[in-house]
């Protein structure tokens, strides 16, 4: 029986050690994280786009002690100055390797210093070494945790679209899709060299990489998705002041306060069989949401739009 650091919590809050670091490309660092406590990790079904939290200690420091942590610990952690406690950021479980006490999480972190913005997550990734220790928050086996948004239901046509921060999620989804899945995936990345060879899916899902090589985020993704949607879709402009940096519109949650239970069914709609999963920079995702929901009137139950980050806005905490 594995000893947990924080058995009072309904999730795993555990210190993990970096056991492998691989610079996949100029913008991606892959780390493998291990702890015997990851034996207690588990979700019901596939991990799909399962999000997890990573807590990075301040540079040069060890992670804050977590043994015995409960909900009060979480509040107390947030109350401390960030220079003391470090930073919590959201990432995707790209893959899970091994089993039992040898379970390891694979996480692909974007290094974005090269693009003029930095942050604790990106900086940690750029200097990550085997033996480094951070804290991970992840689902605990048998306890509902949430954090999976990919819910295609009975849709028979998939549209997956995202930027580099969504590449780990789209890659994980593609790897878990059944062989009969059909659709298209569009992945916009900073550079030609960021096209990752290990991203593969079923033959019926066409994967298109869009290296923007200096163009603005979304400059390639937006027109590519609009072209894919075909007749009736047109490119839209979104003003900066209209952007919600916390954009999160899924069938079960609406950051803008829309009625998630309101069912609008367009029987006979050309896109009735579509499920769209779109994540990345909030302005880019807002633009694609307008195309799909406002212009093409795709039912909000067939789409998930997630702002993974916003230009110029550090993630909260």
- Strand 133-139 to 11-23 pairing: antiparallel
168 contacts ligand FAD (rule: CB under 6 A): yes
63 contacts ligand FAD (rule: CB under 6 A): no
**Among 110, 171, 189, 293, contact with ligand FAD (rule: CB under 6 A):** 110
Sheet with 303-309, strands from edge to edge, namely 205-211, 183-189, 157-162, 274-281, 303-309, 248-250, 253-254
183 contacts ligand FAD (rule: CB under 6 A): no
Between 19 and 255, CB nearer to ligand FAD: 255
105 contacts ligand FAD (rule: CB under 6 A): no
Question: Which region among 12-20, 133-141, 202-210, 305-313 touches ligand FAD (by CB under 6 A)?
Answer: 305-313
120 contacts ligand FAD (rule: CB under 6 A): yes
57 contacts ligand FAD (rule: CB under 6 A): no
Work out the end-to-end distance of the chain between its first and last CA atoms, rounded to an integer number of angstroms.
Answer: 33
313 contacts ligand FAD (rule: CB under 6 A): yes
109 contacts ligand FAD (rule: CB under 6 A): yes
151 contacts ligand FAD (rule: CB under 6 A): no
Are 12 and 136 within 8 A, CB to CB? Answer: yes
Q: How many CA atoms lie within 13 A of 48 on its CB side?
A: 15
309 contacts ligand FAD (rule: CB under 6 A): yes
- The footprint of ligand FAD on residues 228-287 (CB under 6 A) is none
Question: Which region among 18-26, 31-39, 284-292, 309-317 touches ligand FAD (by CB under 6 A)?
Answer: 309-317
91 contacts ligand FAD (rule: CB under 6 A): yes
115 contacts ligand FAD (rule: CB under 6 A): yes
**Among 19, 90, 255, 317, contact with ligand FAD (rule: CB under 6 A):** 90
Quickly tell me which residue has 């920079």 as its tokens.
Answer: 281
**How many CB atoms are closer than 10 A to CB 107?**
22
- CA 152, CA 299: separation in Å to the nearest integer? 13
- CA 219, CA 215: separation in Å to the nearest integer? 6
**Beta bridge mates, 97:** 104
- CA 33, CA 104: separation in Å to the nearest integer? 5
Residues that bind ligand FAD (CB under 6 A): 51, 89-92, 108-110, 112, 115, 117, 119-122, 164-165, 168, 308-315
């Amino acid at each position: 029986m594995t000893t947990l650091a924080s058995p009072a919590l309904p999730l795993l809050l555990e210190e993990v050690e970096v056991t492998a670091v691989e610079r996949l490309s100029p913008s991606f660092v892959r780390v493998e994280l291990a702890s015997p406590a990851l034996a207690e990790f588990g979700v019901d079904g596939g991990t799909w786009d399962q999000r997890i939290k990573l807590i990075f200690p301040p540079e040069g420091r060890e992670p804050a002690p977590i043994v015995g942590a409960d909900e009060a610990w979480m509040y107390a952690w947030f109350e401390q100055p960030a220079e003391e406690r470090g930073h919590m950021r959201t990432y995707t479980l790209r893959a899970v390797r091994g089993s039992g006490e040898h379970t390891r999480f694979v996480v692909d972190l974007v290094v974005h210093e090269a693009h003029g913005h930095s942050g604790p997550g990106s900086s940690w990734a750029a200097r990550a070494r085997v033996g480094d220790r951070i804290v991970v928050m992840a689902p605990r086996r048998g306890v509902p945790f949430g954090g999976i948004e990919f819910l295609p239901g009975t849709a028979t046509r998939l549209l997956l679209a995202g930027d580099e921060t969504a590449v780990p999620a789209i890659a994980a989804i593609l790897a878990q899709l059944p062989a009969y899945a059909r659709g298209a995936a569009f992945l916009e990345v900073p550079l030609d060299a960021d096209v990752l060879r290990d991203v593969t899916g079923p033959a019926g899902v066409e994967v298109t990489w869009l290296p923007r090589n200096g163009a603005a985020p979304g400059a390639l993704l937006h027109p590519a998705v609009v072209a894919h949607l075909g007749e009736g879709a047109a490119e839209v402009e979104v003003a900066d002041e209209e952007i919600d940096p916390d954009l999160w519109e899924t069938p079960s949650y609406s950051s803008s306060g829309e009625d998630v239970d309101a069912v609008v069914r367009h029987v006979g709609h050309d896109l009735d069989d579509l499920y769209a999963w779109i994540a990345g920079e909030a302005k880019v995702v807002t633009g694609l949401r307008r195309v799909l929901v406002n212009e093409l009137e795709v039912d909000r139950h067939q789409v998930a739009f997630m702002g993974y980050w916003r230009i110029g806005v550090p993630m909260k905490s």
